A and B are shown apart, each in its own frame.
Chain A
């Protein structure tokens, strides 16, 4: 065995190195977040809670897009199934919060399998179309059966996670950290290498002996598991489930933008992107109507000038362009 340099140099995208200074920064950031309830009031915690849930949605979008290369234009299909699955269970069956959440998760995972089917057969823009249609159909169904689902106004749930804003914040933070760790574990492992291979060149990966179907279905199941979980927890945070908060196309767009602006294919970048979007939206609230527009302009600028997202800004020039 020759004297070969076994360890790679510390160049390349963020997702590769454990003891990178950027990883350290991230950990510090989360530690800082964990202490925010000590000095921040209910309003700020509320904003951060929403941002963190958005971060979880976005991380799961990144798994599908950044790794196995499937563009999901309707992540809120999965989120919405998780949300309404749990919500309907609580309202009509009266089960406790922690009994309903798994129901939501299962509903979302079934949705994930439904999407995986077309993903295996359709390519390019066509799969994206199917996901978009899925969201539109789900929201139409909710509105049409308003008698059961509460329609656009929403479904009032019997229980909630907790009244305390600190408690809700920690639930969200906990979910974010667990999801981030789980997804990072997957993408940094040999399994993650296979997933990336499937995303970049499914044909060549197939020829190396990997059943592409297996990995795509797996990615959809994982993504829908965490999306559904987050969706279910979200409705128990709000106390209501409505299309506008968990299914709407507008929200789907926010999820996608959060990942791209934060940095695709990094998992963690999605959290930063989500925090940026939600916090920026709140900060701009005083200017009223145009706040969403300004955020969209900022997102567009990031996309055009630094397509690698925020996380790439902490890297080399080359990374920024990727």
Chain B
């Protein structure tokens, strides 16, 4: 019983963090058509910067988190301007090859990020100090208040994202861009501006995922690739470009990993996800909710 509660709570929180990470990746794919393999690197960057600012510089967790998120947004825009945009402008390369170049370029950025982060922050996993101290009793288990707060914050951001895309002008424009870029242009939206905004939101989501991760389990440079792979799996599982799909996929994967880690062994917690990915690719490549 205890184990079940632990699994439920851990899986719930992990799923929420995964969902945040995957949502950003899937939005970028749906609107820009880019599969960003440096994704994990950006998340870890946010986590490590948050740790450094809060712990090492002693400025406290909240300020640390803020700085981490800002770092994520800055690096995301750098990626967009220095790598993504120049690649889009290549004339003599076919579209199919361009996709490969984008993938390889983002992969290189991932390697660069990982190398730089490892050099700056070392390879030992670090975590930010908890935002809230103390524990809470849930069904006879001690659950850290910090963990609950993390889950709450993750969900608040997810709900905020939903609210943004459903009720605000800019959010709807973003949604519309993934459905019909031409339609958006003919009603008078500047597609370029929409793209810039989307990348900013991506940086924000990745940043929040990173700082929450830093608080929940900690992070280190070498988990970046894993995070990319996990986000990737979730995005494909849920359907490329579908945020709701990513949410569902995140929870499926989150619980699968948690259950495997608790019941079998943490070291092979990635395998069920991989197997699931292969099954999906064979049976339904467009994912659970994909439309293309």
**A2-B35 Cα distance, complex, nearest whole Å:** 53
Q: Considering the complex, which residues of chain B in the window 73-92 have a beta carbon less than 8 Å from any beta carbon of chain A?
A: 83, 86-87, 90-92
Q: What's the minimum C-beta distance from A122 to chain B, rounded to whole angstroms?
A: 6
CB-CB nearest 6 A-B residue pairs = A293-B115, A322-B92, A296-B111, A300-B108, A296-B112, A296-B108
CB neighbours of B91 from chain A (8 A): 321
Q: Once the chains bind, are B277 and A289 in contact (CB under 8 Å)?
A: no
**A290-B282 Cα distance, complex, nearest whole Å:** 39
**A122-B279 Cα distance, complex, nearest whole Å:** 14
With A136-B274, A256-B104 as contacts: A300 and B116 at CB distance below 8 Å: no
Which of the candidate stretches A86-94, A124-132, A217-225 sits at the interface with the other chain? A124-132
Is the C-beta of A144 less than 8 angstroms from some C-beta in chain B? Answer: yes
**A133-B236 Cα distance, complex, nearest whole Å:** 12
**A148-B42 Cα distance, complex, nearest whole Å:** 38
Is the C-beta of A243 less than 8 angstroms from some C-beta in chain B? Answer: no
**A122-B232 Cα distance, complex, nearest whole Å:** 17
Q: Once the chains bind, are B271 and A296 in contact (CB under 8 Å)?
A: no
Number of A-B residue pairs at CB separation under 8 A: 93
Q: Once the chains bind, are B83 and A133 in contact (CB under 8 Å)?
A: no
CB neighbours of B112 from chain A (8 A): 293, 296-297, 300
* B-binding residues in A (CB < 8 A): 65, 69, 71, 73, 118, 122, 124-126, 128-130, 133, 136-137, 140, 144, 200, 249, 253, 256-257, 260, 289-290, 292-293, 296-297, 299-300, 303-304, 307, 318, 321-322
Is the C-beta of B156 less than 8 angstroms from some C-beta in chain A? Answer: no
Is the C-beta of B179 less than 8 angstroms from some C-beta in chain A? Answer: no
**A31-B116 Cα distance, complex, nearest whole Å:** 39
Q: Which of B83, B92, B274 contacts A300 (CB 8 A)?
A: B83
- Looking across the interface, which residue of chain B has its beta carbon closest to that of A319? B92
Q: Which of B99, B116, B232 contacts A293 (CB 8 A)?
A: B116
* A-binding residues in B (CB < 8 A): 35, 83, 86-87, 90-94, 96-97, 99-101, 103-105, 107-109, 111-112, 114-116, 118-119, 225, 229, 232, 236, 268, 270-271, 274, 277-278, 281-282, 285
- Looking across the interface, which residue of chain B has its beta carbon closest to that of A308? B92
Q: What's the minimum C-beta distance from B270 to chain A, rounded to whole angstroms?
A: 7
Q: Once the chains bind, are B111 and A124 in contact (CB under 8 Å)?
A: no
Q: Which of B86, B97, B118, B236 contacts A289 (CB 8 A)?
A: B118
Q: Once the chains bind, are B236 and A129 in contact (CB under 8 Å)?
A: yes
Q: Once the chains bind, are B281 and A126 in contact (CB under 8 Å)?
A: yes
Q: Given A73-B103, A290-B119, 20 other A-B contacts at CB below 8 A?
A: A69-B96, A69-B97, A122-B281, A125-B103, A129-B232, A130-B278, A136-B270, A136-B274, A140-B271, A253-B107, A257-B108, A289-B119, A290-B116, A292-B111, A300-B108, A300-B112, A303-B101, A303-B105, A321-B90, A322-B93
Q: Which of B83, B103, B270 contacts A128 (CB 8 A)?
A: B103
CB neighbours of A71 from chain B (8 A): 100, 103
CB neighbours of A322 from chain B (8 A): 92-93
Q: Once the chains bind, are B268 and A140 in contact (CB under 8 Å)?
A: yes
Q: Once the chains bind, are B281 and A133 in contact (CB under 8 Å)?
A: yes
Q: Once the chains bind, are B99 and A124 in contact (CB under 8 Å)?
A: yes
CB neighbours of B116 from chain A (8 A): 290, 293
- Looking across the interface, which residue of chain B has its beta carbon closest to that of A295? B111
Q: Once the chains bind, are A296 and B105 in contact (CB under 8 Å)?
A: no
Q: What's the minimum C-beta distance from A87 to chain B, rounded to whole angstroms?
A: 23
Q: Can you name 21 A-B pairs with beta carbons within 8 Å?
A: A65-B100, A69-B97, A71-B103, A124-B99, A125-B99, A129-B236, A130-B278, A136-B229, A137-B278, A200-B94, A249-B225, A253-B107, A289-B119, A290-B116, A292-B111, A293-B114, A296-B111, A300-B108, A304-B86, A321-B92, A322-B93
Q: What's the minimum C-beta distance from B45 to chain A, rounded to whole angstroms?
A: 14
| Most chain A CB neighbours (cut-off 10 Å) among B93, B105, B115 | B115
**A140-B118 Cα distance, complex, nearest whole Å:** 24
